[in-house]
Structure 1
Amino acid sequence: MTIVVTTPTGHVGSRVVRLLVQAGVRPRVLVRDPARLDEATRARVDVRRGDLTDAGFVREAAAGARTVFWVDPTPHAAADPIEASLRTAAPLVEAARVGDVGRVVLLSSIGAEKRHGVGHIDALAGIEEQLDATGADVLHLRCAYFFTNLLLDLEGLSRGVLTTAFDPDRPMPWVDPRDIGDVVAARLLNDTWQGRVVQAVHGPEDLTFRQVARILTQALGRTIRIDPVGDDEVRDALRAAGMPPSAVEGIVGMTAGSRDLVPEQPRDLLTTTPTPLSGWAHARLRPLLER
């Protein structure tokens, strides 16, 4: 069984690689800089060095694989993020279409089911549709809002401020990326599923940003208050940072398009993962802020 893992040093990919290795599998990892893998991991994986934006590299590295775990590497700040995401995934889609790849597990997102109007998430919807059309076995994991998104504003949290453009009183699912990695690894190791499968990964509970602030206050040992901002404020800040218009709208759209979202799949045994935000914040976020 040949399993290809993209972004193997990311929050999700690193967990997937570790679990596959512990299961006795030698995964093929596609990585730009092998030095980012620790020495013990490098000795237990098949390293293919290259850039996921290089179509030739992706086709060659994925050829003959039973399953590919695909994580879109396109940064939200890309000049045209939706176009870049679709272009980057094109070699994988073609490999699946011609049979060079048997199965694909896609790290998608809640909101992709809307198909349009959710900013950069629209690219994941497009990749889902293109993979569906190949006839290969495909699994779309539609994941909730990552705990690790809180790491994007450590400076604000260090000042006791949690800034958000989401409705601070609307519950939404939150998830630990390590738990996503557990689901991914289980699916990669299960060789029986077929056809088109969609599975949400919701995390243990839906939380409002006000609830998140209270949880962080207790877990971090410091008062965290909410600072709600509007879409135009976010646009102004992103433009001031030098981001191109399509990137700005791709970022703003992910929030704006998700405000009325009801996930396609409900919370149940299949979609719910265990790690609470409080435990993650105490173990992962608190040490970073205390430094």
Structure 2
Amino acid sequence: MTVFIILGAGGNIGSQVVKSLSEADQPVLAVVHSAEKAKALEGGAVEAVVADVNDSAALRKVFQRGKRAFLLNPPGNVSADSNAAELATSKSITDALSDSGLEKIVVASTYGARPGDGIGDLTTLYDFEQRAKASGIPTAIDRGAYYFTNLAMLAEPASKGTLPATFAATMELPMVDPADLGVVAAERLQSALDDVGIVYVEGPERYTFGDVAAAFARHQGRDVVVKTTPREQLAESFKAIGFSEVSAEAYARMTEATIDETDLPKLPRRGRITLDAYIARLTRG
């Protein structure tokens, strides 16, 4: 029997991976960082285990209990040096793959992942991809579009008529519900060993922040106007909400890279959850 190991099992993506595998009657070892989250997940064919992703030796022992694993690198603390933190956990998680006995891994990554330094998730997740592949274990990589959950913080200002955005209202941007990423990850965890390489995952269609504003307007019953932060003010806007200087600069560069990206995937794997459905659920609370 194949045991599936899921990192970040208490999060938006990982919890859906656990749910999808459980519905398929597959045994799951759900890895979380707190006893409280473990208690919430435990039950049926799901065993929850508390582990620190910064402890490679302990994580390796967890990996040795299964055959296939979903790997997710947690976001770093943006009030400190988020890039340094993410590179450290990238190394720790992938170091734990050595002598793990795993036969396949599925790695969560992002659109726009690229070599380089200090471009936020685009470079830290590229590092994660490369380290995972270097393990020699068959590696499936799911690059996800901009998460709908990033929009949750905009519900309050939208209720007052303004949608602050780092992108222009008319810019087409691939977006996805993390739950759809979890569904795809569960599918690839169960697929053949030769189902490897990069798959791009986004929602049913591409959206703009104008579409986001219109969705909030429909569900909040008032006009909503997009207010885009000028490029030259991006770093300062991140600092204003608590980012350290180094994290603010990295996120500003990541935003600029996303704005300048023109080579979008032609045939992404499309999820089922629409922007409107997500905003409707968000505004209902």
Is the pair's TM-score, using the shorter chain for normalization, greater than 0.5? yes
Counterpart check, 1:272 vs 2:270: yes
Which residue is 2:28 aligned to? Answer: 27
1:5-25 CA-partner distances (Å, limit 9, x unpaired): 111111111111111111112
2:62 match: secondary structure: helix
Percent sequence identity over matched residues?
25
Which residue is 2:284 aligned to? Answer: 287
Which residue is 2:172 aligned to? Answer: 171
Aligned CA RMSD, in angstroms, stands at: 2.2
- Contact kept, 8 Å, 1:145 with 1:175, in 2: the verdict is yes
1:218-238 CA-partner distances (Å, limit 9, x unpaired): 233232210111244332233
Cα offset, 1:120, TM superposition: 2.8
Structure 1 residues 16, 243: closer, same or farther in 2, change over 3 A? same
- Contact kept, 8 Å, 2:106 with 2:139, in 1: the verdict is yes
1:20-47 CA-partner distances (Å, limit 9, x unpaired): 11111221111112323565x3123222
CA distance in 2, matches of 1:250, 1:84: 13
- Contact kept, 8 Å, 2:107 with 2:141, in 1: the verdict is yes
CA distance in 2, matches of 1:267, 1:29: 31
CA distance in 2, matches of 1:208, 1:125: 25
Corresponding letter in the other structure for 2:146: Y
Corresponding letter in the other structure for 1:27: V
Taking the TM superposition and a 5 Å limit, the aligned residue runs for 1:240-279 are 240-263=240-263, 265-268=265-268, 271-279=269-277
Corresponding letter in the other structure for 1:94: D
Taking the TM superposition and a 5 Å limit, the aligned residue runs for 1:122-141 are 122-141=123-142
CA distance in 1, matches of 2:195, 2:202: 22
1:72-123 CA-partner distances (Å, limit 9, x unpaired): 11335053322322221223323434453222211100010x3237423210
Structure 1 residues 60, 78: closer, same or farther in 2, change over 3 A? farther
CA distance in 2, matches of 1:108, 1:115: 13
Comparing 255-264 and 91-100, the one that deviates more: 91-100
Taking the TM superposition and a 5 Å limit, the aligned residue runs for 1:1-291 are 1-37=2-38, 39=40, 41-44=41-44, 45-75=46-76, 77=78, 79-112=80-113, 114-116=114-116, 118-190=119-191, 192-194=192-194, 196-263=196-263, 265-268=265-268, 271-282=269-280, 284-288=281-285
- Contact kept, 8 Å, 2:110 with 2:144, in 1: the verdict is yes
1:248-289 CA-partner distances (Å, limit 9, x unpaired): 122212211111213553135xx112221112211x21113x
Cα offset, 1:3, TM superposition: 0.9
Corresponding letter in the other structure for 1:148: T
Structure 1 residues 240, 277: closer, same or farther in 2, change over 3 A? closer
Cα offset, 1:69, TM superposition: 0.8
Structure 1 residues 36, 64: closer, same or farther in 2, change over 3 A? closer
- TM value normalised by structure 2: 0.90
- TM value normalised by structure 1: 0.88
CA distance in 1, matches of 2:124, 2:266: 23
Q: Which runs of 5+ in 1 are unaligned?
A: none
Structure 1 residues 194, 36: closer, same or farther in 2, change over 3 A? same
Cα offset, 1:175, TM superposition: 0.8
